[in-house]
Chains A and B, each alone.
Chain A
Amino acid sequence: QVQLVESGGGVVQPGRSLTVSCAASGFTFSTYAMQWVRQAPGKGLEWVASISYDGRNEYYADSVKGRFTISRDTSKNTLYLQMNSLRAGDTAVYYCARDARGYGDYHYFDYWGQGTLVTVSS
């Protein structure tokens, strides 16, 4: 069965960096676009970043462009989000999510991880 397991969240000071990971299993990771979606405490969903199935294309929300980098390691079936220059406003649960169809960029998500909480605070 498809599983997405995030890790790497925690408390980090403003201005510092953190990388969160998403371990994928139960499907052919290399054939699906992947994304990160976040949810601030008590708030709605916000798309953060997407990466194409072949890793050639990356897309970012304006709020994180230039600070966050999405990447994938097919050999480890793992998705990453490197977050630099963190701000209090980046505090959220970060979910990884799989595109609903393979071999393309369909931009809607059929499987989600359980999320990892990132808290930016001094």
Chain B
Amino acid sequence: DIVLTQSPATLSLSPGERATLSCRASQSVTNYLVWYQQKPGQAPRLLIYDASNRATGIPARFSGSGSGSDFTLTISSLEPEDFAVYYCQQRSSWPLTFGGGTKVEIK
């Protein structure tokens, strides 16, 4: 199984700051890496697919990069509604796997 390791576990930032989240795969997933956002009590929301493609309706401040086994989700300037937990997921091979999540909290 492909293990996805997200870091840091928690990111404490202020609104307006830049957030950089990492997702590392135990083996190459080429570019088949997806990012979701989840707020408390809500279902996950698709942000980025195939490493760098924003999903419909996702603001341009969210961007994804990377390939192979190292990926990054960047939020260029944090808005109050961006404080949440972010998960990466690989769709390269079965079983589908998720990372453990990065919580972005208000500093």
Contact with B along A93-110 (1 / 0, CB 8 A): 001000010000011111
Residue B46 interfacial (CB < 8 Å)? yes
Instruction: Please count how many residues in chain A sit with their CB below 8 Å of the partner chain's CB atoms.
Output: 22
Count B interface residues, CB 8 Å: 23
Contact between chains at B95 and A115 (CB < 8 Å):
no
Q: B96: CB under 8 A from chain A? A: yes
CB A47 to nearest CB in B, in angstroms, measures 4
Find chain B residues with CB under 8 A from A109 CB: 44, 46
Give, as a whole number of angstroms, the nearest-CB distance from A18 to chain B: 20
A61, CB-defined interface residue at 8 Å: yes
Contacting pair B97 A95 (CB below 8 A): no
Q: What B residues does A41 contact at CB under 8 A?
A: none
A47-72 residues at the B interface, CB under 8 angstroms: 47, 50, 59-62
Within 8 A of A (CB), among B40-55: 43-46, 49, 55
- A59 near B99: Cβ-Cβ < 8 Å: no
Contact B96 A47 (CB under 8 A): yes
Give me the 5 closest cross-chain CB pairs, A-B, nearest first.
A107-B91, A112-B43, A47-B96, A108-B34, A45-B98
B residues within 8 Å of A by Cβ? 1, 32, 34, 36, 38, 43-46, 49, 55-56, 87, 89, 91, 94-101
